[in-house]
Amino acid sequence: MQTNHESRWRDPEPQVGDGRDRFHVAINMDGNGRWALLRGRPRESGHVAGAAAVRRTVAAAPALGITTLTLYAFSSDNWRRPPSEVDNLMQVFQAYLDAECDNLTERQVRLSVIGRRDRLSRSLTCSIARVEEDTRQGTALHLRLAIDYSARHGLLTAVERLGKESPTCEAFERSLREAIHAPSGTRDVDLLVRTGGERRLSDFLLWESAYAELYFTDVLWPDFTANDLACSVQAFAARDRRYGALGTRSDDRGCR
């Protein structure tokens, strides 16, 4: 693959044309099931509580300077869960989209769904298309929900779309965007947060997170608050992002 120093994938500080996409936070929302089990409730109740945490997080994000927020709602591996739980999750997604469309529009939040669509129900894909269209003019925040998402599948599909040609990074970016139904103009991930105590990426935004700062918290997703989001952003602000160059802090000896 050819490289280009102006490619958005390679440039650690990309210049987005509209000037709005300045800080991309991605969150792996883990811990719904454990939250419910700790309270003696069915796992499904944890997903409902998790939807409330989504609302809190979306409401808090713009004030923290977040311009793009990507939430890992349902991985392609989650199809392995019991059918009853999968059905419940799909119902939660449908209910969220139907209930929040007007609210998102009013608050100038643009919603996009990334991932596969061929395995989702017709009613869900119709709701996705409707909300994406109704909110597309939002400028306060770009909310991206990853549903039936696999970074590996997206990468493989992007390569297959390109065939045998030797693409530029820009061509590969375009192919990957088409593979996961992602709109253009989104910068790479700056901060990747995972709740629930686990410390792994789990096939989430592997390409886009090449230079992301990682933040792990033991807080289960339904308990995640605006203050928890603020703490993650505060931790990010304290990081020295080098992108392979020497650090800027006085105690940096250039050893790494």
Which residues are marked as active site?
30, 78
Token code pair at residue 98 = 């139907």
Mapped onto helix, strand or coil, the DSSP state of residue 73 is strand
- Which has the closest alpha carbon to 74: 42, 50, 98, 55? 50
Query: Whole-angstrom Cα distance, residue 45 to residue 41?
Result: 7
Dist CA 75 CA 48 (whole Å): 17
Q: Tokens 């979306």 correspond to what residue?
A: 58
E strand segments, the chain: 24-28, 68-75, 109-114, 141-149, 191-194, 213-216
Do residues 70 and 205 lie in contact, with contact meaning Cβ atoms separated by under 8 Å? yes
The answer to whether 53 and 219 are in contact (CB under 8 A) is no
Query: How many whole angstroms separate alpha carbon 147 and alpha carbon 92?
Result: 12
